[in-house]
Chain A
């Protein structure tokens, strides 16, 4: 990978790419991308798991409360229990990302 060539793909780039690839209107492509990520968010919010073959899976991990430290000030801070999304890359995409 040439670092200088690395670009960003944001949501509207993804919408445009989908529009072109599948011959859709902008509205249709927008609705689809929004639906996919809205469903993802809702599933995770409900504590569910998402599994996309060849892409990866998303799960929610529960973290307990702990006493942390502000690294700048050295003060103790209470970190509350929280839930965080976790992504595990699928085998196919893992290889693709590594250029294989």
Chain B
């Protein structure tokens, strides 16, 4: 499933034109992305939470060569699925 499938769904089920459906679906993901870029949490009840976490700098290793490398401090995005979604997958 890709963005095209969601756009098609919005077009078929909610009565928007193809152009409107496409703009709206793009907006949904842009809004979420902009919030996360500001460091905000995005919590979708029934689906899951997107959270940006601060990671400290650390020593790492290239698993292929075994060579030690330094990993800089960074912010990474994590997704924690909701209990409801996990139940749906195992129901």
A residues neighboring B (CB under 8 Å): 1-3, 5-11, 14, 17-18, 21-22, 24, 28, 31-33, 35-37, 39-41, 43-45, 48-56, 60, 82-85, 87, 89, 92-94, 96-99
B residues neighboring A (CB under 8 Å): 1-3, 5-6, 9-10, 13-14, 20, 23-25, 27-29, 31-33, 35-48, 50, 52, 54, 74-79, 81, 85-86, 88-91
| 6 nearest CB pairs, A to B | A87-B79, A1-B39, A96-B37, A97-B77, A83-B89, A85-B81
Are B75 and A84 in contact (CB-based, < 8 A)? no
Known A14-B44, A35-B13; judge A51-B89 contact (CB<8 A).
Answer: no
Q: How many A-B residue pairs have CB under 8 A?
A: 147
The residues of B that contact A31 with a CB separation of less than 8 Å are 14
Q: What is the CA–CA distance of A63 and B34 in the complex, to the nearest angstrom?
A: 33
Contact among B23, B46, B86, B89 with A22 in the assembled complex (CB-CB below 8 Å): B23
With both beta carbons as reference points, the residue of chain A lying nearest to B76 in the complex is identified as: A97
The residues of A that contact B37 with a CB separation of less than 8 Å are 96-97, 99
A12 to chain B, nearest CB (A): 9
